[in-house]
Structure 1
């Protein structure tokens, strides 16, 4: 090849390379769509005028509120999920929060983060959130129709989150703690009276509510034994529904007539078994292997063999109410509420009831005293000759 032909070949290769580069889609810089590195996408390989000069010029750097440096025009990544996840991990490890509490806080903080994004601030930059933002969040929940108890729970989640950020030095003050709880309606779960409770737990009724001895298929009787054992524990030992569903077979000590219960905050306590609870559990444990999966440790299992969930437990109590012929239904917590109310009405010591319920504070137990007093005053108004009849 002559020198002239060699030069022409090299020039052709350079021209081909430039053209090829001009036809390629250049990746966006730091997520800025449409940015190129000085070449147009028209395939001509020539700088695209002013756009090329702007792209070639150094980008301005800006600092975000949390110290991150981003290029001008680049979208700031919302780090709220990372901050929420770190907080939930701390709650689980350091505070021993239950799985249910972690899930509730995750939902509540996720809703708060979404609202704050619409206000131009972020939980990923907690120092940008003010008391006004938290108040606006509660006002938005109120307009949306949320119950005041639900609003208070979401505010409690926000307080815990900002307390965690304050301990980490990311914020100077807990802005959520500066907002007052909405005024609550005084509502208590319905407590069954003794006759209603006995009707609910009566084993002489059939599975469908008929009178006479228990009758039905073997599977129906097996499920009924499970349902009665669960209800007996909720009323006879005053367990929370989460505590009852969290029990494993190894937690039941029939010989000692006690249960090893894991309460709130991973606090373990021993709970006594009543005579009827002992017998109900004994009958259920005889039937459980026919329903549970081979490796399932849970005491109460569903029809598929896995651990029973809260929704099914609520349906169980509802079915027992219908079976007893009650004109109303109650929640699983109402059985625990009835347990405490009946003990206090019978003269049980407040501190003892506190221990049985697993309450950390006595003031929580004292709410049941108020219920008993209201019941007493109602009886007085109805029966005393000098009372004002209503």
Structure 2
């Protein structure tokens, strides 16, 4: 069916104008949605359907559109974005009374492949955590201004808890000073679903945390309860924490950077590779379900196979 009078183009332009004015869409989003909707219109023309008459488009057409994209080799993330553009477009048409239902909203997003964060190997982890080693191999902040040493002391303590105790970044940033029990070498952690657990402190985590607690009063606001605080003395946020780990990666001379969650991921992976019991790792990570912990076994197996391929004389890949 031909696009009489350029109906499709007019409807798309009206929608994009509404997205810009009413939704504050960026120019990049506007351009991406324009391309996505033009591609949808192209597909529908092949089905003898005119997007300029949106009431003629059905859920089956949208399902067929996703199947067409899949056969073309589109990434699932790209397919999901195109579906999001179509949903917004039909939502706009509903507001204008041109359609009675949002057919794009009746179609599920393509299932995304779950990507694990990069797990550091043991050497990389130690390089990152030792990046603040002082003169003569002494553990602790390197020589610098008093403020620089204080910040570095905090950074190292945070990284040690993420790897040494396997904390989620949200858990580490939620810690208050009162949650630290140095005498028994444990942390009181509030995990997902408001479930409390005790997380052990390694020797190095204990030392770094003790050093930070001595420096913290010089940086924290008087009434601030948070264990980790930023330069202004208030509770550290996730963006600042991400920058801390990136900074430690650079100090360690790593050719890549990782996220705070990669340190927790490395904690679990290294325990499993060393033969730790799955149930124990589950408790340490604060997972409610064992199946969540079992995801790490696949990563450990991949690492094991990579080592085998590189080292075994009969692997066929040497």
The two structures have a TM-score, normalised by structure 1, of 0.54
Taking the TM superposition and a 5 Å limit, the aligned residue runs for 1:135-284 are 148=77, 182-202=110-130, 205=133, 214-284=142-212
* Superposed counterparts of 1:6-85, under 5 Å: none
Unaligned runs of 5+ in 2: 1-57, 85-103
Note the 1:353-364 alignment, pairs <5 A.
353-364=281-292
- Contact between 1:234 and 1:335, CA under 8 Å: does it hold in 2? yes
Alpha-carbon contact 1:148-1:183 (below 8 Å) kept: no
The whole-number CA distance in structure 2 between the counterparts of 1:347 and 1:357 is 16
Inter-partner Cα distance in structure 2 for 1:151 and 1:282? 47
Count of paired positions: 231
Partner Cα separation in structure 1 for residue 108 and residue 78 of structure 2: 13
DSSP-derived class of the 1:259 partner: strand
**Per-residue deviation, residues 204-246 of structure 1 (Å, max 9, x unmatched):** 5469xxx997110000000000000000000000000000000
2: CA distance between counterparts of 1:192 and 1:341? 9
Corresponding residue to 1:347 among 255, 275, 278? 275
* CA deviation map 1:266-308 (0-9, x unaligned): 1111111111111111000000000000011000000001000
Structure 1: give runs of 5+ residues left out of the alignment: 1-130, 156-175
Alpha-carbon deviations, 1:120-140, whole Å to 9, x = none?
A: xxxxxxxxxxx959x79x97x
Determine the C-alpha separation between the residues in 2 that align with 1:368 and 1:354: 10
SS across alignment from 1:366: helix
Question: 299, 304, 312: which one pairs with 1:371?
Answer: 299
SS of residue matched to 1:276? helix
Q: Which residue of 2 aligns with 1:295?
A: 223
- Report the CA distance between 1:148 and its aligned residue: 4.0
CA distance in 1, matches of 2:107, 2:204: 48
Residues 1:181 and 1:347: Cα distance change in structure 2 (over 3 Å): farther
> C-alpha displacement at 1:344, in angstroms?
0.2
- CA–CA separation in structure 1 for the residues paired with 2:140 and 2:175: 32
Instruction: Please tell me whether the aligned partners of residues 161 and 167 of structure 2 are also in contact (alpha carbons under 8 angstroms).
Output: yes
Query: Matched residues in 1 for 2:107 and 2:289: separation?
Result: 23
**Structure 2 CA distance for partners of 1:256 and 1:212, relative to 1, 3 Å:** closer
Cα distance per residue 1:52-93 (max 9 Å; x no partner): xxxxxxxxxxxxxxxxxxxxxxxxxxxxxxxxxxxxxxxxxx
> TM-score, normalised to structure 2's length?
0.65
Query: Secondary structure of 1:378's partner?
Result: helix
Compared CA separation, residues 218 and 247, structure 1 to 2 (3 A)? same
| Secondary structure, counterpart of 1:271 in structure 2 | strand
Higher helix share: 2
Find the aligned partners of 1:212 and 1:236 in 2 and give their Cα distance: 16
1:187, CA displacement in angstroms? 2.3
Match of 2:248 in 1: 320
**Structure 2 residue 232 is matched with structure 1 residue 304:** yes
